[in-house]
Amino acid sequence: MSTEFGKGPLNKHLKDAAAILKSGGLVAYPTESYYGLAADAANEAAIRRLFQIKRRKPGEPILLLIPDVGSLKRCVAHVPEAAKRLMDAFWPGGLTIVFEAQKDLSMLLTAGTSKIGIRLSSHPLATALVKAMGSPITGTSANVSGEPPCRTPRGVFNALGKGVDKILDGGETPGEKPSTVLDVTSYPLTILREGIISKKMLAPFCGALN
């Protein structure tokens, strides 16, 4: 496993990280809240490895980061009007929107729900990584499931060790709250997890809201 801890040109590290992901590896990276753990969303073996490293139980869905709004069509079956308003208001940022999933997405990602959580990150390094990859990556936290999320590269290394192939060092992340998770697949829209984006902030764009 390689870690930067501030060393070397960023572009090279991003290219190396993208190459690792494309070959089925795992890369940790900073986000608006905590460090995330990336696998190629189209690589079933890589996703299975991610579950193993995190000791995550099957049946727990995994959200995805996308490089741009145009990439949504690779992952979702339908984009409701409410979701468009929310994306205009809060993307890039700390809002994960749960859509109806494309049928060819891995069942490990959707946990058999036929739904998928998607986010466009506002963290420059997270966005640079998914753009270097050119396709969706997983956005789950870089920690053992059930344990506290990690805010530093050293924390990721201590938690996951050699299970991660590369850690992109973005320094200490803000922590405090994770992304807000909002399901737009039915009406009223449902907050599954309130985090960075509060219910009060969402309300003007949602109409009825659970």
Q: Report pLDDT digits (tens) over 149-199.
A: 999 999 999 999 989 999 999 999 998 889 999 999 988 999 999 999 999
The C-alpha atoms of residue 77 and residue 118 are separated, in whole angstroms, by 12
Strand segments, DSSP code E, in 75-148 are: 95-100, 115-119, 137-138, 140-141
**pLDDT for residue 55:** 93
Sign of the Cα pseudo-torsion (202, 62, 55, 121, in order): negative
For 40-65, write each residue's pLDDT tens digit: 999 999 999 999 999 998 888 999 99
The C-alpha atoms of residue 30 and residue 151 are separated, in whole angstroms, by 8
Taking the CB of residue 172, how many other CB atoms lie within 10 A of it? 13
Q: Is residue 87 pLDDT above 50, yes or no?
A: yes
Domain map (residue ranges) of the chain: 2-206
CATH superfamily entry for domain 2-206 = DHBP synthase (3.90.870.10)
Q: Is residue 104 pLDDT above 60, yes or no?
A: yes
**pLDDT for residue 59:** 85
Q: Is residue 86 pLDDT above 60, yes or no?
A: yes
Q: Is residue 210 pLDDT above 80, yes or no?
A: no
**pLDDT for residue 209:** 75
**pLDDT for residue 65:** 97
Which residue do the tokens 């997270």 mark? 126
> Among 127, 42, 41, 116, which residue's Cα sits nearest to residue 83?
116
Q: How far apart are the first and last CA of the chain?
A: 43
Q: Is residue 14 pLDDT above 70, yes or no?
A: yes
**pLDDT for residue 6:** 39
Mean pLDDT, all residues of the chain: 91
Q: Which own/partner contact pairs does 184-190 have at CB distance under 8 Å and 24+ positions apart?
A: 184/80, 184/82, 184/83, 184/86, 184/97, 184/98, 184/99, 185/80, 185/98, 185/99, 185/100, 185/115, 189/82
Q: What is the mean pLDDT of residues 25-38?
A: 96
Q: Is the distance from CB of 28 to CB of 156 less than 8 angstroms? A: yes
Q: Is residue 3 pLDDT above 50, yes or no?
A: no
The C-alpha atoms of residue 58 and residue 197 are separated, in whole angstroms, by 28
- Amino acid, single-letter form, for residue 36: G
